[in-house]
């Protein structure tokens, strides 16, 4: 009784799903020529600002691995006339929040500041970006923290699996190296290396800006110039693209721990590929999260072999992967690996069912508007869209493009993207019944 | 600068007025309480049901059953097949999850606001009508053993935390891990989970929290339609857990593991919690945690140990006041390379002694309070965290008024109260000091 009622209800409301998120994006160009995407929302007296500088740790020089990561961590450790503690006190007095993060392809800055102290907060942020001090004492303190993180990663099965996979996939390309660097490389970094990493990465020619909250377009323009106008016009050239160097098989990294951790994958698909939407839907069905995916159904729901198993598309600036991860007790990881391989092969060969496609579309299109949840989240989306080269109208058309994907599209893209013979597993632990192929 | 800031932040007062204007409460005839938080910025709603039962309410020997039941709540009812719950929420573009804590178990969905009724229908259905097969219950036990593997057995820091917690509580079930001891998880089954379910899952033991683009009157109508018909439990056990005896002996935990890369020292004290109408001591301890270790280099531990003496690479202090029974106040020091755990612990105690002797720096206290005021503004941007704040508080016996007066109580706390609370809580007899180290380290310490 209730089931039928729910089914009817789903159908009715399914048709009335909000077609697009209610965000009104303005493109603002400052008098000095800096572009930002802005969503005004004056209901809470604060603003979220997201800056993304393309490049990130992939711009580390070959003998200076970890410089960009350490530089980014030092941006909040003293700037202009303020030492590390002075900077932190000033930020806390303004009740502003800044965070600085480096990734393989970008350095990102997330800031939130109250309307009442907007100008002072942005002036403080300007100092961090334009005039970081990199004081020797702060450098040593933060270097100690980074070395501690590196040491912990060396004994963490998940980190070991990811590092091993990256090294096998990308070799000597920057993507093949740990973004934090190694104990040796970080120990050897000098203040000049940090200054060079700053000059290489924090520049206007690679900057994307998203702003959301209690600020008008008129007010934003001049503030952008003050905040970012003093940055150098150009940073370091981007690294080359790289081919994925993995072959199918299994690598085992022995590590004494009860549960084996596996990271797996092979070459993937660029985000600009016309089939990317179909690939996104295909991945959602294969292992894109939730209890319904093929991988979760086979490994967790039917057999209780794992707490979680996922697959994901990983398009990067200079390469693309389709990847996944799973963890299972040493005694059962071999079965888990085998089941992943079987699902990979099944979807590659047979595609997915009409019901699976329909359910995935409903979820993907229905969940999309829910992402626009809060000023900080929207600011990140705006910067990310520009970073990925998407048009400002992307949000309006995205769900229609998802809905346009057909069963044949998914079948075609699955056959093209999923390569069961190319699938490589890196397993860290003491797996039973699983042998390395190399 | 300081004067300017004070003016800025004063403009944000009064807090209670700000909080009260968009929060409504009501109670159904069957005893289910409800909180509605309005936020019309996006057509989204968060729907949560919080049961006032958690791991600390489990019978002895059945650690992990509250969490096991939380998993089994997705395994079907008399109306829905296993997996349908997930499928229906997903088909409506929603996301959902659940969590188990020592004092409560919560279930929530985030979905387009016009699907609220459907979410209530689903949640009401599984409040009393869970239908489990042995097979699903057995498979899910395997999932939980793997969850424990992932979160605990593979994580030396989590094993260390578990051992310290067990050492801190001499008698209270807070000493048991929420996920359960491995040996006891292995013995859980369908019947044990269903016993727990029948005892505790009822409207008069639950709080409904709805936050988002909703009209409170409409929420009430929907709640009456979906939750209203569920009969209350008539034999809900009183919520009385075994109490702690006097703590007469300081405890020490030394944990070695070859997988440890970074040794550190931790200290946990037994500490009082928030109680309805009586939140000042807990507020003083919350500010104390921020003063000592809440903000890196500007907090006492960070300044003395990371910046001045440079013997630590990280320090922190933490305190969770939202607890049904006495909670913990904790600190840790991660020593710099070449500094022993003994030296780190001695330095920690030296800093605490100096703090008690010198008192609170008024400028630092004002900075901490200013940050707390600003947090109220930033938190308005995060509906889910606001909803969680109410749900957690109401699940441990606080009222909506307690939640709304909490910011004002925090602002009114004096330096004297903070110091008194510190002197009270820093009692080594009621503490556990833990060292976590590499296996090869013990001989050299």
Residue with tokens 């058309």: A397
Cβ separation of B5 and A94 shorter than 8 Å?
yes
Chain B residues with beta carbon closer than 8 angstroms to that of A329 = 145-146, 149
Evaluate if residue B60 carries a pLDDT over 50.
Answer: yes
Do A193 and A263 fall into the same domain? Answer: no
What whole-number percentage of chain A has pLDDT above 90? 92
Pick A370's closest partner by Cβ from B110, B303, B307.
B110
Q: pLDDT tens for residues B237-268?
A: 999 999 999 999 999 999 999 999 999 999 99
* A243 is a domain residue: no
**What is the signed CA dihedral for B300, B303, B306, B310, rounded to 10 degrees?**
-120
What's the CA gap between A212 and A26, in Å, rounded? Answer: 10
Contacting B residues, span 167-186, partner chain A, CB-CB under 8 Å: none
CB distance from B97 to chain A under 8 Å? no
* A173 is a domain residue: yes
Do A298 and A396 fall into the same domain? Answer: yes
Do A293 and A183 fall into the same domain? Answer: no
Chain A residues with beta carbon closer than 8 angstroms to that of B86 = 290-292
Nearest CA in chain A to B259: A155
Name the CA radius of gyration of chain A, rounded: 24
Span A212-236, mean pLDDT? 97
**What is the signed CA dihedral for A172, A173, A179, A184, rounded to 10 degrees?**
30
Evaluate if residue A12 carries a pLDDT over 90.
Answer: no
Span A108-118, mean pLDDT? 97
Nearest CA in chain A to B9: A116
Determine the pLDDT at residue A136. 97
Mean model confidence pLDDT for chain B:
93
Span A75-93, mean pLDDT? 97
Determine the pLDDT at residue A22. 65
Determine the pLDDT at residue A289. 75
* A8 is a domain residue: no
| Interface residue of B97, B293, B337, B378 to substitute, partner A, most A CBs within 10 Å | B378
Do A335 and A393 fall into the same domain? Answer: yes
* A234 is a domain residue: no
Do A394 and A331 fall into the same domain? Answer: yes
Chain B residues with beta carbon closer than 8 angstroms to that of A116 = 8, 11
Mean model confidence pLDDT for chain A:
94
* A190 is a domain residue: yes
List own/partner pairs for A255-258 with CB under 8 A and 24 or more apart: A255/A157, A255/A160, A255/A428, A255/A429, A255/A430, A256/A430, A256/B258, A256/B259, A257/A157, A257/A428, A257/A429, A257/A430, A257/B153, A257/B154, A257/B259, A258/A329, A258/A330, A258/A429, A258/B149, A258/B153, A258/B154
Q: Say if residues A94 and A78 touch (Cβ distance below 8 Å).
A: no
Q: Say if residues B94 and B110 touch (Cβ distance below 8 Å).
A: yes
What whole-number percentage of chain A has pLDDT above 70? 95
Do A154 and A44 fall into the same domain? Answer: yes
Number of separate domains in chain A: 2
Span B350-354, mean pLDDT? 98
CA distance A51 to chain B (A): 19
Evaluate if residue B10 carries a pLDDT over 60.
Answer: no
Span B277-287, mean pLDDT? 97
Residue B70 annotated among the catalytic residues of the structure? yes
Pick A155's closest partner by Cβ from B259, B377, B381.
B259
Cβ separation of A14 and B91 shorter than 8 Å?
yes
What's the CA gap between A285 and A351, in Å, rounded? Answer: 10
Residue with tokens 């093209």: A416
CA B45 to centroid of chain Cα atoms: 22
Evaluate if residue B201 carries a pLDDT over 50.
Answer: yes
Which pTM value belongs to this model?
0.93
Cβ separation of B371 and A92 shorter than 8 Å?
yes
Determine the pLDDT at residue B443. 45
Evaluate if residue B326 carries a pLDDT over 50.
Answer: yes
Span B97-112, mean pLDDT? 97
What's the CA gap between A115 and A113, in Å, rounded? Answer: 7
Determine the pLDDT at residue A2. 35
Nearest CA in chain B to A143: B313
- Give, as one character, the DSSP assignment of residue B306: I
What's the CA gap between A201 and A190, in Å, rounded? Answer: 17
Determine the pLDDT at residue A373. 86
CB distance from B93 to chain A under 8 Å? yes
Evaluate if residue A21 carries a pLDDT over 90.
Answer: no
Cβ separation of A41 and B41 shorter than 8 Å?
yes
CA distance B363 to chain A (A): 10
Cβ separation of A92 and B298 shorter than 8 Å?
yes
Do A265 and A219 fall into the same domain? Answer: no
Do A193 and A272 fall into the same domain? Answer: no
Pick B1's closest partner by Cβ from A93, A112, A370.
A93
What's the CA gap between B399 and B385, in Å, rounded? Answer: 17
Do A139 and A286 fall into the same domain? Answer: no
Evaluate if residue A351 carries a pLDDT over 60.
Answer: yes
| Interface residue of B9, B111, B142 to substitute, partner A, most A CBs within 10 Å | B142
Do A113 and A178 fall into the same domain? Answer: yes
What's the CA gap between B224 and B236, in Å, rounded? Answer: 22
Name the CA radius of gyration of chain B, rounded: 23
CA distance B306 to chain A (A): 8
Chain B residues with beta carbon closer than 8 angstroms to that of A301 = 82-83, 139
* A403 is a domain residue: yes
Pick B367's closest partner by Cβ from A92, A307, A368.
A92
Cβ separation of B74 and A375 shorter than 8 Å?
no
What's the CA gap between B104 and B125, in Å, rounded? Answer: 20
Do A284 and A173 fall into the same domain? Answer: no
Chain B residues with beta carbon closer than 8 angstroms to that of A369 = 42-44, 93, 112
Chain A residues with beta carbon closer than 8 angstroms to that of B83 = 291-292, 301
CA distance B64 to chain A (A): 15
What's the CA gap between A238 and A319, in Å, rounded? Answer: 13
Determine the pLDDT at residue A50. 98
For residue A306, what is the domain's CATH number? 3.30.830.10
CB distance from B96 to chain A under 8 Å? no
- What is the domain range of residue A323? 249-381+389-429
What's the CA gap between B78 and B133, in Å, rounded? Answer: 11
Chain A residues with beta carbon closer than 8 angstroms to that of B313 = 141, 144-145, 148
Determine the pLDDT at residue B13. 41
CA distance A429 to chain B (A): 10
Span B391-401, mean pLDDT? 96
Contacting B residues, span 245-304, partner chain A, CB-CB under 8 Å: 258-262, 295-298, 303
Evaluate if residue A19 carries a pLDDT over 50.
Answer: no
* A423 is a domain residue: yes
Do A219 and A254 fall into the same domain? Answer: no
């Amino acid at each position: 009784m209730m089931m039928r009622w729910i089914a009817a209800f789903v159908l009715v409301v399914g048709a009335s799903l909000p077609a697009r998120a209610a965000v009104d994006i303005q493109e603002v160009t400052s008098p000095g020529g800096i572009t930002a995407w802005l969503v005004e929302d004056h209901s809470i007296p604060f603003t979220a600002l997201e800056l993304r500088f393309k490049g990130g740790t992939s711009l580390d020089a070959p003998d200076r691995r970890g410089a960009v990561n350490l530089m980014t961590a030092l941006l909040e450790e003293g700037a202009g006339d303020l030492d590390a503690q002075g900077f932190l006190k000033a930020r806390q007095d303004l009740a502003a929040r800044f965070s600085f993060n480096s990734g393989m392809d970008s350095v990102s800055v997330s800031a939130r500041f109250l309307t009442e102290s907007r100008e002072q907060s942005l002036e403080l942020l300007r100092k961090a970006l334009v005039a970081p001090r990199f004081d020797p004492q702060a450098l040593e303190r933060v270097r100690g923290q980074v070395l501690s993180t590196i040491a912990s990663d060396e004994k963490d099965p998940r980190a070991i699996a990811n590092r091993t996979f990256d090294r096998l996939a990308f070799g000597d390309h920057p993507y093949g190296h740990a973004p934090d660097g190694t104990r040796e490389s970080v120990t050897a970094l000098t203040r000049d290396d940090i200054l060079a990493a700053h000059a290489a990465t924090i520049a206007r020619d690679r900057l994307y800006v998203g702003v959301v909250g209690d600020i008008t377009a008129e007010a934003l323009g001049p503030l952008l110039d003050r905040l970012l106008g003093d940055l150098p016009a150009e940073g370091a050239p981007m690294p080359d693209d790289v081919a994925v160097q993995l072959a199918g098989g299994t690598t085992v990294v022995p590590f004494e721990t009860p549960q084996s951790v596996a990271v797996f994958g092979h070459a993937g698909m660029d985000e600009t590929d016309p089939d990317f939407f179909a690939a996104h839907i295909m991945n959602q069905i294969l292992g894109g999260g939730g209890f319904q995916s093929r991988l979760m159904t086979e490994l967790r729901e039917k057999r209780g072999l794992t707490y979680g198993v996922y697959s994901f598309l990983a398009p990067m600036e200079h390469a693309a992967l389709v990847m996944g991860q799973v963890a299972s007790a040493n005694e059962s990881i071999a079965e888990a690996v085998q089941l992943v391989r079987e699902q990979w092969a099944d979807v590659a060969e047979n595609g997915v069912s009409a019901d699976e496609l329909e359910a995935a579309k409903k979820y993907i299109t229905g969940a999309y508007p829910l992402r626009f949840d809060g000023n900080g989240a929207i600011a990140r989306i705006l910067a990310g869209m520009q970073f990925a080269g998407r048009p400002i109208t992307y949000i309006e058309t995205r769900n229609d493009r998802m809905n346009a994907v057909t069963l044949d599209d998914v079948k075609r893209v699955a056959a093209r993207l999923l390569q069961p013979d190319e699938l490589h597993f890196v397993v860290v632990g003491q797996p039973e019944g699983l042998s390395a192929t190399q | 600068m300081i004067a300017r800031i004070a003016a800025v932040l004063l403009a944000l007062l009064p807090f209670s007025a700000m909080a009260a204007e968009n929060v409504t409460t009501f109670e159904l005839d069957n005893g289910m309480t409800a909180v509605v938080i309005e936020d019309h910025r996006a057509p989204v709603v968060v729907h949560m049901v919080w049961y006032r039962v958690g791991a600390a309410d489990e019978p002895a020997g059945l650690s992990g059953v509250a969490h096991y039941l939380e998993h089994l709540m997705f395994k079907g009812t008399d109306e829905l097949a296993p997996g349908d719950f997930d499928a229906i929420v997903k088909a409506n573009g929603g996301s959902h999850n659940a969590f188990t804590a020592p004092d409560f178990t919560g279930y929530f969905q985030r979905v387009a606001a016009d699907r609220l009724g459907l979410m209530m229908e689903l949640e009401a259905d599984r409040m009393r009508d869970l239908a489990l097969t042995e097979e699903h219950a057995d498979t899910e036990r395997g999932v939980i053993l793997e969850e424990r593997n992932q979160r605990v057995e593979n994580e030396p820091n989590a094993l260390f935390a578990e051992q310290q917690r067990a050492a801190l509580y001499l008698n209270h079930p807070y000493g048991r891990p929420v996920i359960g001891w491995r040996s006891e998880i292995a013995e859980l089954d369908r019947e044990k989970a269903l016993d727990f379910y029948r005892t505790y899952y009822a409207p008069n033991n639950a709080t409904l929290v709805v936050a988002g683009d909703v009209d409170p009157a409409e929420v009430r109508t929907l709640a009456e339609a979906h939750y209203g018909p569920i009969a209350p439990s008539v034999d809900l056990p009183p919520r009385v857990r075994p109490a702690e005896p006097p703590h007469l002996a300081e405890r020490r935990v030394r944990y070695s593991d070859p997988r440890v890369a970074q040794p550190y020292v931790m200290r946990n004290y037994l500490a009082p919690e928030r109680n309805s109408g009586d939140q000042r001591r807990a507020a003083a301890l919350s500010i104390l945690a921020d003063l000592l270790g809440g903000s890196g280099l500007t907090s006492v531990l960070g300044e003395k140990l990371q910046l001045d003496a440079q013997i630590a690479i990280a320090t922190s202090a933490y305190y969770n006041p939202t607890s049904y029974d006495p909670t913990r106040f904790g600190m840790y020091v991660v020593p710099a390379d070449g500094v022993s755990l003994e030296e780190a612990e001695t330095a920690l105690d030296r800093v605490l002694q100096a703090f008690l002797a010198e008192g609170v720096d008024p400028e630092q206290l004002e900075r901490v309070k200013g940050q707390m005021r600003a947090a109220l503004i930033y938190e308005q941007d995060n509906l889910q965290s606001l909803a969680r704040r109410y749900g957690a508080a109401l699940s441990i016996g606080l009222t909506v008024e307690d939640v709304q007066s909490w910011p004002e109580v925090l602002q009114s706390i004096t330096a004297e109260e903070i110091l008194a609370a510190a002197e009270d809580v820093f009692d080594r007899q009621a503490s556990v000091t833990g060292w976590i180290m590499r296996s090869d380290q013990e001989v050299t310490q």
